Structure 1
């Protein structure tokens, strides 16, 4: 019978089952390894070790998991109590066998704790991993040294540099878990396992002493170079992945304690750097975006049992897939049968391609397609709880659709527009139920991109906002609430960058130099590569456009982007881009016609003129209340436009530069180029007060 012997200030409870001490972590909700829990574990382990009646120790998580890892709010603060590396060395040095019993998650420091134990058991549903790289750091409590000794350096590289959790079954297959336990009896199984260890006189298996698996890294040093090359695109610009690789290399060539010292030095370098600060900021900013001051968390959401989507094109099809993936039935509407069939075929092809890659079971393809109903009749949307319009970006068309929906949709149905620019209030005014109208701006490709701009109209009901935010999360998006203005947050700021990019090429900078500077900054592509990818003829018409801009002249020559193998760039059969002489000639012609003086610009000027106006526009958005907080703007840009997460978003980046410096450069450009660079009042005020956007 179990008996309590030590409460350890309630963060670790100790019970005894026969000769086995069971130490339960009770620092909810995720057993983060903060100071109190570390001290509690230390005290409990030492008490169990000092108790002659205890022959073995089981370390198990209370609540829903073993441990989600370190308390990241402690990073950068003075050390308090025993450090995690020292605690884990102490556990590993225990004179009695310590068994980690894992359910839920054992992530980061949680897995490092399990690795310091002599044995590990887990339920099949458990997940383990070392995701520190996603916070711009590395496992700093021995993870980069112990894991390669258990699974080998190649698998350790996948786990640590990849950062994604793996299931307990896969972990057991690679030797990380010693035994799988029944889902409903982990504690009893772990105790029985510990009793067997004692009865059979098994050794205290210290991972630090293992050498067999890391021999691979010594005998095949090219393994690390090959991994770097394979992952160069994914890790571009990030500091942490290279530090992780270097630490795993160190595990293969250095004695354990020297490897630990190397790991600690690399960890300290990263945790005090700007990239890690940015990535930790983003971690919290994503969670903060869900909080809306005047829409409490307990605001009742409207039930969404069926969704209607108007338009079966690229956006409509992608939007539909999000809901099908979540098991929500979708009715998709088009005006013509051929367009509808084409859209349905594209959805099926997307799913079948995913299945071919092994990321979806063939039967799942049929399950999802079985949830999709296609129709040419708008009236078939009458029973939908949420209807999302995803048609051509034309106000007249959208107004007509919403006017019809007003007569078709059932009472309480939410009417949403996927518009990326247009006035939601003007659209809502076409109905007798403006409180039910909201913007839900998905980003292309809608079934892949994580961002969802939820656009709050003047009369949008609070429960409609709550529902849009909740359903966004349910379908795997990161919803951010924004206000009504042209382009909302993301596209409104993007327009600033595009304007200056177009101005720069007329002044003499080549499109490829603008793209290179933006790409080297860390964005996935520059403005002209992006234009070619999207298609230069979006919103262009031979009848209405007047051969005034570079874009007009390119389109008139059927240089409309990648789809025509020519745009700003020339493209080969594999869509590889090369700079175009034709484009240079067209730019020179437009510049001459407009009387633009040609000159060179430094990379720094290109960077400042394309990105500083975005910061300024973000400040105006905050002034106008179109975004709740600066961090929401950063989440929009990271998840919708590929802003490098290690720079934290445009507003965080501005704080790292210093707002006085940004203001000084904007004023200099204003003197030269005029009102487009006029600093916002908020930016001027914050700079004068010595504050940043983080202080709002």
Structure 2
């Protein structure tokens, strides 16, 4: 049965799509649309055609599962051309989202009606692509080249009201009156002699024709956003063509660029991320119908940076929070920082003032530990000290109500050891947020040995509700992300003593696409984390830096020297300290290429990822990719560490590890899983 149905209502011909969940433009929908447009045009009694969708949204995009496979006719470009070529006016009735191919369908229509809550956009760039059904050619002709560049290159949607102001939407409807408004507009225009055909319009691109420097200025102004990415540059080139060449030539270039991108490594990687994020929600061995607990109030123990950030996630999602601290000054400071964070976001337009007040109004700060007794989920967010955490969980077990879930925000420690301090180890797990917790999207949900399915499912559902990308991890030191980070840091420290400088090491990763290198990260976090001035022994470079007051950005100097604006410059003093340690180690210093440094840092990470898979700590390789993408800023256009290994060849990683074997250290071992995959010519990701 076709997902496209039609009905005639007097002189109006309705084309309705019902293809849950998001009316994706798969083959059956495309074929049904083409057939319906032809049917409407062939009916002499029809004077106007309306395209609408049942369900929660207008067409929300192409069917991504078809990418990379032989295309079944008709393709979306042909469908859009058929819509635009209709001898009778075609009106798009938009609710929910009109994204990607959905907006391309709407652009091919002669008129567009939308409800105010609708969003319209061309997000293909976020999958390493460009709009491939005329979007780069039609949108500039409707809203102008400069505005089109902003939408297409960022991939960000705009609201219907802004789209109406820009001319992308012709009429705004009441939220519950979309189809009536579409019918009214259809009756209004059906007797007109001509209708706006987007591909023939030239009025909106005239300004860009008279300003040939527009595109280079856009490239310069957005250099940071597009650096290293193929798709944004292709988008700019396509919009430039919309201004300078006829529509037919522009669409031909658009199609050529699309095919080049869709077969390229960057788009393959970014499509992998799209599916990997959704796959992470699936938990091995957990029935789909597993019941979850109602979480109506959350307790947060600790009002520091992490505790406050974690609390903000729940407050923003409308969930009341009880926050407990030991001292009033610490509690007041934490609440003050939360408010400042909200107000800073409000100043940027992310919240309205009344939303800030509502969120803060859901917070109950207190020094009373017993106040946690009515919470459904309690998250401990104190220092990384096992004895402290064990004591806290023993106390929590006494005050928490039956059925309450107890979670630790630990980033390294053994959840099973913590859970053993309670009489409810089945209701204990890890919920590892990443700093800043109110911003970073990753949530590692650590499944303890005795964690029940319902508790695990609840934690995953909570993560989704507060806008996190949650990934399940088993129990081991550092879980998924920090365990791999430790492998990288070990090699970074070793490279220092072999002749590489901190800035060479950092640059090898930032040029790869990471937001910062290991020593930049250390300076940002503070070199004195875990350092005790009473027991310091000058045994490591980091200890000596702390002893000399070089404790990171907060003191104006760490591995780098920092200016008042926090700009960093290499430090001669640090070079001398490192050189002294290198001499004592007995290793003769040597020069390193950027490629060699990168291999030394990244290949051991991938090896550790393979061990994590061997041990069942991660469910699948794509989960590891998601952890690094959303928790550590791994460049999305490479797909994550395990997908990147697949792209360059796991055999290449193995040979690199073997080549660097002696330098990697006496205790370094190569994963059996990695060896097997390399020898069989397979991939980590399927």
Q: Shorter-chain TM-score: which interval? A: over 0.9
- The answer to whether residue 121 in structure 2 is matched with residue 129 in structure 1 is yes
In the aligned structure 2, how far is the partner of 1:564 from the partner of 1:121? 57
**Do residues 554 (structure 1) and 539 (structure 2) align?**
no
Q: Secondary structure at the match of 1:13?
A: strand
User: 1:239-638 alignment to 2 at 5 Å?
Assistant: 239-638=230-629
Partner Cα distance (1:230, 1:428) in 2: 52
Deviation at 1:672, TM superposition (A): 4.4
2:67 paired residue number: 75
Answer with 226-235 or 93-102: which moved more: 226-235
For 2:661, what is the secondary structure of its paired residue? helix
- State the alpha-carbon separation in 2 of the partners of residues 213 and 191 from structure 1: 27
Residue from 98, 106, 118 that aligns with 1:106:
98
**Which residue is 2:210 aligned to?**
219
Deviation at 1:68, TM superposition (A): 1.1
Paired with 1:256 and 1:231, the residues of 2 have a C-alpha distance of 26
- Which residue of structure 1 aligns with residue 179 of structure 2? 187
**Distance of 1:664 and 1:497 partners within structure 2:** 18
- SS in structure 2 of the partner of residue 694 of structure 1: coil
Describe the SS at the equivalent of 2:351.
coil
Runs of 4+ aligned structure 1 residues displaced above 3 Å come to 671-677
2:143 corresponds in structure 1 to: 151
- Which of 672, 683, 686 is the equivalent residue of 1:681? 672
Cα distance per residue 1:136-168 (max 9 Å; x no partner): 101011111111111111211121111122211
Instruction: Write the mapping of 1:21-40 to structure 2, written as runs, cut at 5 A.
Output: 21-40=13-32
By how many angstroms is 1:677 displaced? Answer: 4.1
CA deviations on 1:396-449 (whole Å, 9 max, x unpaired) are 110110011111111111100000000000000111110111100000000000
- Secondary structure at the aligned position of 1:23 is classed as strand
Aligned length: 686
Counterpart of 1:63 (choices 44, 55, 59) is 55
Q: Secondary structure at the match of 2:511?
A: helix
Aligned match of 1:115: 107
1-structure distance, mates of 2:621, 2:217: 40
**Distance in 1, Cα, partners of 2:582 & 2:533:** 21
Q: How does 1:229-248 map to 2 (within 5 A)?
A: 229-248=220-239
Aligned-residue CA RMSD (Å): 1.1
Given that residues 17 and 191 in structure 1 are in contact (C-alpha distance below 8 angstroms), is that contact kept between their aligned partners in structure 2? no
CA deviation vs aligned residue, 1:73-116 (integer Å, no higher than 9, x gap): 11111121111111111211111111111111111000000100
The answer on whether the counterparts of 1:666 and 1:678 sit within 8 Å (CA) in structure 2 is no
Contact 2:2 2:29 in 1 (8 A): no
Q: Is the 8 A contact 2:491 2:664 kept in 1?
A: no
Name the CA distance, whole Å, in 1 between partners of 2:366 and 2:474.
Answer: 33
User: For 1:296 and 1:545, how far apart are their aligned partners in 2?
Assistant: 51
Give a deviation string over 1:248-285, Cα, whole Å, max 9, x none. Answer: 11111111111111111111111110000000010010
Of 154, 159, 169, the match for 1:162 = 154
Report the secondary structure of 2:190's partner residue: helix
Deviation at 1:675, TM superposition (A): 4.0
Change (3 A) 1:498 1:202: farther
Deviation at 1:361, TM superposition (A): 1.2
CA contact (8 A) 1:92 1:118 kept: yes
Shift of residue 676, structure 1, vs aligned partner: 4.7
Residue 227 of structure 1 deviates from its aligned partner by 2.2
- For 1:576-597, what per-residue CA distance to the aligned partner results, in whole angstroms no more than 9, with x for missing partners? 0000000100000011111122
Residue 308 (structure 1) shift: 0.7
Q: CA deviation at 1:680?
A: 0.3
Q: 1:9-28, aligned counterparts within 5 Å?
A: 9-28=1-20
Cα distance in 1 for partners of 2:215, 2:683 equals: 41
Deviation for aligned residue 1:639: 0.2
Counterpart of 2:202 in 1: which secondary structure? coil
SS in 2 for 1:632: helix
**What displacement does 1:169 show?**
1.3
> In the aligned structure 2, how far is the partner of 1:643 from the partner of 1:224?
29
Task: Render the CA deviation track for 1:563-620: whole Å, top value 9, x for unaligned.
Answer: 0000000000000000000010000001111112200111111010000000000000
- Check conservation: 1:670, 1:676, Cα contact below 8 A: no
Residue 183 of structure 1 deviates from its aligned partner by 2.0
The offset of 1:341, in angstroms, is 0.8
Q: Is the 8 A contact 1:131 1:160 kept in 2?
A: yes
Task: Measure how far apart 1:53 and its partner are.
Answer: 1.1
Contact 1:669 1:677 in 2 (8 A): no
Quick one: distance in 2 between partners of 1:384 and 1:392?
A: 22
8 A contact 2:125–2:231 mirrored in 1: yes
The answer to which of 386-395 and 590-599 deviates more is 590-599
Q: 2:133 aligns with which of 141, 146, 161?
A: 141
State the alpha-carbon separation in 1 of the partners of residues 643 and 350 from structure 2: 35
Q: Please say if residues 383 and 410 of structure 1, whose CA atoms lie closer than 8 Å, have aligned partners that are also in contact.
A: yes
Name the SS for the 1:16 alignment partner: strand
3-state DSSP of counterpart to 1:382: helix
- Give per-residue Cα distances to partners, 1:366-411, cap 9 Å, x unaligned: 1111111111121111111111000011001101100111111111
SS at match of 2:685: helix
The answer to whether the 8 A contact 1:548-1:590 is kept is no
Once structures 1 and 2 are overlaid, which stretch shifts more, 241-250 or 650-659? 241-250
Q: Distance in 2 between matches of 1:341 and 1:553?
A: 35
Give the C-alpha shift of residue 18 in structure 1: 0.5
Is contact 1:666-1:677 (8 Å) kept?
no
